Amino acid sequence: MNYFSLNTPDHISSFKDAVIRGIAPDKGLYFPESITPLDPSFYETIENYSTVDLAYEAIQQFIGDEIPEEELRAILSEVLDFEFPVVELEKNVATLELFHGPTMAFKDVGARFMARCLGYFSKQSNTKENVTVLVATSGDTGGAVANGFLGVEGVDVVILYPKGKVSPIQEKQLTTLGQNIRALEVEGSFDDCQAFVKKAFLDESITDHIKLTSANSINVARWLPQMLYYIIAYRQVKDKAEKLVFSVPSGNFGNICAGIVAYKLGLPVDHFIASTNVNKVIPDYMDTQTYTPRASKPTISNAMDVGDPSNFIRIQKLFSNDYDQLAALFSSESFDDDQTKAAMLKLFIENEYVADPHGAVGYLGLESYMEHHPDTYGIFLETAHPVKFLEVVEETLQTKVAIPQQIQKVMGGQKKSVEIATYEELKSYLLD
């Protein structure tokens, strides 16, 4: 499988080079040259596939022969070693829990897959040059990347996060591990962190000396594996869901974009809903067909506080940049913090279910859609364990949330971070 840049289609790269570079030399996002639907018999008999077999069938075409079958199956076995349960809450309404991995967030799948791909390529390399993973996080990406890459030979990790704008548990997950993981605390917003990262990739005074790659969902190895849990979810609800709808809490839009890739592989999905908080660039685009990025606003669903989502250009490409094609399968709606808290409370009182703020936004989007489409089976994604947003969850629900073992392990760790305020400080740090 080859990949091309969405900025310059005749710039072609292998999967390996796309993973190592992260972003194309012309600063465009990489996109697969082709997506071949799986044979319909795959979905007709999907209950007979193990999770690893299912994942291999779905993702192998995007890897080609660059990772041998035995190695790729081993990678998938390690990446998918936890459960992805669909939990039914109401008639025809369920949630897909993606928080049973090591950092209790959906990003564990992509981060661990990418880490193992880079580790494999590093072992095959004849050079000893390290790759530096430079990544911005609004919350869960940092912890997932830190955990996924911890101790991976030949890879250094530098994580930028906005000071005071991630939850205390999220901060612990990305600042306490040490080894090859470094955390930079940025005076500013997530958009500032992301702007610093993008600028560093353009800065030849850095890239001439350091091999940089990104572990945000712009990287194909972080983005594509997220399609797997949509297929795993379908395996669980196949006999219930004639018209299947997914509502995805959306910030940088990599997760829902991967779901649409699964759809392009033939996954029987009737509709995708991108549910956002008040950072509603995409809901506005769907209303006006005008894309207007803007500064992000802080919310209680902080991982979605994104004012210029990187992956929407990939979603447009999946529909040949045709708005009508896109709008037939995809819609987007935004909700504020008060609505989010009300949804959390409703889920708790009516279903005895504790949702995190991001999952609650996903529920709101699904609830709104199903008012007009009652004949569908809806799944909203619960993308992080509620403990990661402990203060707002306990305050909203007036209940205590038990601390899982995965979180207890980092709570006592000592925070180690470096505070920066300017791009020049980031540059100096990288070159030191």
Is residue 60 within 8 Å of 67, Cβ to Cβ? no
Higher pLDDT, 260 or 22: 260
Two structure tokens written together for 207: 């890239």
Q: Which of 353, 355, 360 is nearest to 337 (CA)?
A: 360
**What is the reported pTM?**
0.90
CATH of 83-105+222-401, one of 3.40.50.1100, 3.40.50.300, 3.40.50.2300, 3.40.50.12780: 3.40.50.1100
Is residue 109 within 8 Å of 226, Cβ to Cβ? yes
Q: Which of 281, 215, 211, 213 is nearest to 250 (CA)?
A: 281
- Pick from 23-37, 68-82, 198-212, 249-263: least confident: 198-212
Sequence ranges of the domains in the chain: 83-105+222-401
Question: If residue 55 lies in a helix (H) or strand (E), which one and from where to where?
Answer: helix 51-63
Distance CA 389, CA 252 (A): 19
Count of alpha carbons within 13 angstroms of residue 61, beta-carbon side: 15
> At a CB cut-off of 8 Å and minimum separation 6, what does 144 contact?
101, 103, 105, 107, 108, 110, 111, 112
Give strand pairing partners of 12. 4
Phi and psi angles of residue 348, each rounded to the nearest 5 degrees, phi first? -70, -45
User: What is the strand order of the sheet 418-420 is part of?
Assistant: 211-213, 131-136, 155-162, 181-186, 418-420
> At a CB cut-off of 8 Å and minimum separation 6, what does 95 contact?
86, 87, 89, 353, 355, 359, 362, 363, 379, 380, 381, 382
Q: Which of 288, 328, 285 is nearest to 309 (CA)?
A: 285
- Tell me the pLDDT of the chain averaged across its residues: 92
Q: What is the pLDDT of residues 46-97, one digit of tens each?
A: 999 999 999 999 999 999 999 999 999 999 999 999 999 999 999 999 999 9
Q: How many residues does the chain have?
A: 432
pLDDT at 125 over 80: no
Q: Which amino acid belongs to residue 179?
A: Q
Two structure tokens written together for 252: 């940088």
Instruction: Please give the DSSP secondary-structure letter assigned to residue 130.
Output: P
* 20 three-state secondary structure: helix
Is residue 90 within 8 Å of 351, Cβ to Cβ? yes
Q: How far is CA 6 from the centre of its chain?
A: 20
Q: What's the pLDDT at 353?
A: 97
**How many Cβ atoms sit within 10 Å of the Cβ of residue 411?**
12
Per-residue pLDDT averaged across 210-238, rounded?
A: 93
- Dmax of the chain from CA atoms? 59
Q: Is 291 exposed, middle or buried (0-12, 13-18, 19+ CB in 10 A)?
A: middle
Q: Which of 406, 409, 425, 407 is nearest to 417 (CA)?
A: 425
Phi and psi angles of residue 89, each rounded to the nearest 5 degrees, phi first? -110, -40
Question: If residue 248 lies in a helix (H) or strand (E), which one and from where to where?
Answer: strand 244-249
Q: What is the pLDDT of residues 327-363, one digit of tens each?
A: 999 999 999 999 999 999 999 999 999 999 999 999 9
Distance CA 186, CA 197 (A): 12
Q: Which amino acid belongs to residue 310?
A: S
Give strand pairing partners of 185. 161, 419
Confidence category of residue 98, pLDDT binned at 50, 70, 90: very high
Confidence category of residue 153, pLDDT binned at 50, 70, 90: confident
Question: If residue 184 lies in a helix (H) or strand (E), which one and from where to where?
Answer: strand 181-186
Tokens 């350091």, located at residue: 210
Q: What's the pLDDT at 69?
A: 97
